[in-house]
Chain A
Amino acid sequence: MVLAGLLVVGRFVLAPHLTDPALRTWATVFVAVCVQALPFLVFGVMLSAAITAFVPPSFWTRALPRRPYAAVPVAGVAGAVMPGCECASVPVAAGLMARGVAPPAALAFLLASPAINPVVLVATAVAFPGEPSMVVARFCASLAVAVLAGWIWARFGSTRWLPVPRRPAGHGQGGRWGSFVDSMCHDLMHAGGFLVVGALAAATLNVVIPREWLTAVAGIPVVSVLVLALLAVLLSICSEADAFVAASLTAFSPTAKLAFLVVGPMVDLKLIALQTGTFGGAFVRRFVPLTLVLAIGVSFAAGWALL
């Protein structure tokens, strides 16, 4: 009620004054990021809730190799079949963990699926016509980062840093459908608020960073790669669209563009916020730097070998 009241009052009292072009541009980008991510988030949350409510845990123990080291690459490759962007993969990975999938395997899936699914690869091929090596490099580098991160987490990770996401168990009122709705609502509340945090940050940077800064550093070999990696983190563009942005950064080397494509779907502001909401701060403080360093390192290697 309070919400509706504020909206109505604001509409008539404030709205006529909110016409500054900078503010409106910022608001357009902010709303665009939210509106674009929302269907993917809802889709991911639904899939995740369905995994928790309807797929018995025994399915995963049969589908995935028992030893985490073997399960990681399998889960990474499985990421290739889920068409979606990074907003969908976070709740799905949480759902997998809640259902007993080893965290390293679920994390490999989390990193791989937004980068190597068919929709993203086709978009990359379209954005880089005549450069199939970019698609190959993106696929190989992203899968490698996902598997390496999974293995490193399997070796050094601690369960203290990654509490298995708490779920309303299947015994609530209303049986399976009841727990399906409960877990959807739970995930939307936790992930949704953080998605908005990420969108606020991404829109602000999108409007604030002067593009001339970028062209100034495009020619410097190593720095240009690090700058595009950082830009990927800040801009938080959906993985289905980032190839078009990378292709337009014509002043940069192919390796720098590859770093943009590998880092973006795995580490960005929106994703960091989403992961904080889903897995907690202790996890994010360790996993995000690990992924970022791996992604940049592998991009250098793949760029040198393939591009």
Chain B
Amino acid sequence: MGAAVSGRSQASLLLVLGATVLAVSAFSGMYANYVRPGFRPALVAAGAVLVLVAVLSFRREQRAPRVAWLLAVPVFAIVLVAPPALGSYAARRGDAAPPPAADHRALGAGVTDLTLGDFIGRATAGGSLAGRRVGLTGFVVRAREGWYVARMRMACCAADAFVLEVAVEGASAPPEDTWVRVTGTWAPGRQPAIRASEVRPVERPEEPYELL
């Protein structure tokens, strides 16, 4: 494995990489763990181009430097670790996102589902949440006292993600990292918080992140 990369190995590397990119983007929703959904067409196109170049260059003779072997590392990471979307571990050590601008549309009488970003924005601005019943969906982050319903917010990819978290009051903590929908009312205080009337486990949503 230490030698310069032969023509055929180069083509195999590109083929495996391209196939992995296609598997992640075209044939599954796994790409959503890493980048925003808008990237999907670009990923499918890039995967297809890689496969095409691999097929066309199978008989090349130029050799490539050893560092090219590293192209296999992301493939191994995806196949062996199958990295999930960022969860409580990242949330606990990450930066809190600055409170998003508040949306001032009035909430209806029933239960309104809000994004965590919207809830935190409204809670920081104050007022528009008072007395309204809302639903929040996120994963569980347990703290020393109490727990949070949290979600990561990303602009572009998981490397730039920030934490959005809302403290949950009046309900015992579900296991770490389970996805839940918390229904309740805003609990005014030092940090954005919700007084829960119901906590129900839910399926992880297809888009695990909130988008900027």
Contact = CB atoms under 8 A, between A and B. Distances in A.
Interface of A: 1-4, 6-7, 10-11, 14-15, 18, 21-25, 27-36, 38-39, 42-43, 46, 123, 127, 129, 168, 181-182, 184-186, 188-190, 192-194, 196-197, 199-200, 202-203, 206, 210-211, 235-238, 240-242, 244-245, 247-248, 250, 277
Given A11-B79, A200-B73, A237-B159, A38 B53 contact: no
B158 A29 contact: yes
B12 A25 contact: no
Contacts of B81: 15, 18, 23-24, 27
29 contacts: A2-B1, A3-B13, A6-B76, A7-B76, A7-B79, A15-B79, A15-B81, A21-B89, A24-B83, A25-B90, A28-B34, A29-B86, A31-B77, A35-B21, A36-B35, A39-B45, A43-B42, A127-B155, A184-B53, A184-B57, A185-B57, A186-B62, A189-B68, A190-B68, A192-B68, A192-B71, A193-B68, A202-B159, A248-B97
Nearest to A26: B83
B65 A193 contact: yes
B157 A248 contact: no
A3 B17 CA distance: 11
B198 interface: no
B83 A28 contact: yes
A98 to B, nearest CB: 15
A250 B98 contact: yes
A46 B34 contact: no
Nearest to A181: B56
A203 B79 CA distance: 18
A193 B155 contact: no
Contact of A197 (B14, B46, B70, B157): B70
Given A14-B80, A27-B83, A185-B10, A35 B157 contact: yes
A237 B158 CA distance: 10
Q: Taking chain A's interface residues, is the majority helix, strand, or loop, or is none over half, making it mixed?
A: helix
A190 B5 CA distance: 11
A7 B95 CA distance: 35
B45 A210 contact: no
B80 A15 contact: yes
B70 A196 contact: yes
Contact of A42 (B11, B35, B49, B84): B49
Contacts of A29: 86, 158-159
Contact of B5 (A15, A189, A200, A248): A189
A184 B53 CA distance: 8
A277 B195 CA distance: 55
A4 B80 contact: no
Nearest to B33: A28
Nearest to A33: B159
A240 B39 CA distance: 13
Contacts of B10: 185, 189
Contacts of B97: 248
Contacts of B76: 6-7, 10
B46 A39 contact: yes
Given A32-B157, A189-B65, A196-B73, 8 more contacts: A3-B13, A28-B34, A32-B159, A35-B157, A36-B35, A38-B43, A42-B46, A211-B95
B143 interface: no
Contact of A32 (B12, B34, B49): B34
Contacts of A235: 159
Contacts of B11: 185
Interface in B24-57: 24, 31, 33-35, 39, 42-43, 45-46, 49-50, 53, 56-57
